[in-house]
Chains A and B, each alone.
Chain A
Amino acid sequence: EDQVTQSPEALRLQEGESSSLNCSYTVSGLRGLFWYRQDPGKGPEFLFTLYSAGEEKEKERLKATLTKKESFLHITAPKPEDSATYLCAVRGYGQNFVFGPGTRLSVLP
């Protein structure tokens, strides 16, 4: 059974304080690992798709990396507007996406 865990559950940073979020997964044949950002009461907003170990993608202050067992979302010099819940999901050979519980990020000014 495909599974995704995320850590930490919640993270509080000062503005400018860089950190990383972790997504650990087990999946039968990875067809994609996905990162989403979700603001309270809204639908998830797509950030990145990673397909194979060693792959990296960047967008503004965010950088996602992938190994065979986990993915990291690195946040460099975060700003208060980066505060949100960050969701990780995987898709294996099955038809559905499996999501982790998310990491709630708060960036204080």
Chain B
Amino acid sequence: ETGVTQSPTHLIKTRGQQVTLRCSSQSGHNTVSWYQQALGQGPQFIFQYYREEENGRGNFPPRFSGLQFPNYSSELNVNALELDDSALYLCASRTRGGEGWGFQETQYFGPGTRLLVL
């Protein structure tokens, strides 16, 4: 049990629609990352939020956006859905203690949201 929850568990959308996925992190974890995992592949980094600001982004277009809230919850929003957006979306949280501290930064994953775009 990681203490990281995600909702919904499954979602079906059609091309062009918008979707919001939600994550609730462990209490005290000030950093949340979102990943996209296609079938048979490793997770691909989308972006990271630290203290409610985005501070890292992978190779994903601007139609992927996010928010982090003070209560350790966060959202991933995807606009103008495409068929290739079908994947398992994972959030992971950790505690970040600053640049000189980095050695206790294991991240813990939620169960994921399976998105199917038709």
- Residue numbers of A with Cβ under 8 A of B are 4, 31-32, 34, 36, 41-46, 49, 51, 87, 89, 91, 94-102
Contact = CB atoms under 8 A, between A and B. Distances in A.
B48 interface: yes
Given A4-B42, A32-B102, A87-B42, 18 more contacts: A31-B105, A41-B88, A41-B114, A43-B2, A43-B111, A43-B112, A46-B2, A46-B108, A87-B43, A95-B48, A96-B33, A96-B48, A96-B58, A97-B33, A97-B92, A99-B45, A101-B40, A101-B42
B45 A98 contact: yes
A91 B105 contact: yes
Contacts of A42: 111-112
A65 B6 CA distance: 32
Contacts of B48: 95-96
Contacts of A102: 41-42
Interface of B: 2, 4, 6, 33, 35, 40-45, 48, 55-56, 58, 88, 90, 92, 102-103, 105-112, 114
Contacts of B112: 41-43
Contacts of B45: 96-99
B56 A94 contact: yes
B103 to A, nearest CB: 6
A99 B103 contact: no
Nearest to B31: A95
Given A42-B111, A100-B42, A32 B56 contact: no
Contacts of B33: 96-97
A17 to B, nearest CB: 24
Given A44-B43, A87-B43, A96 B56 contact: yes
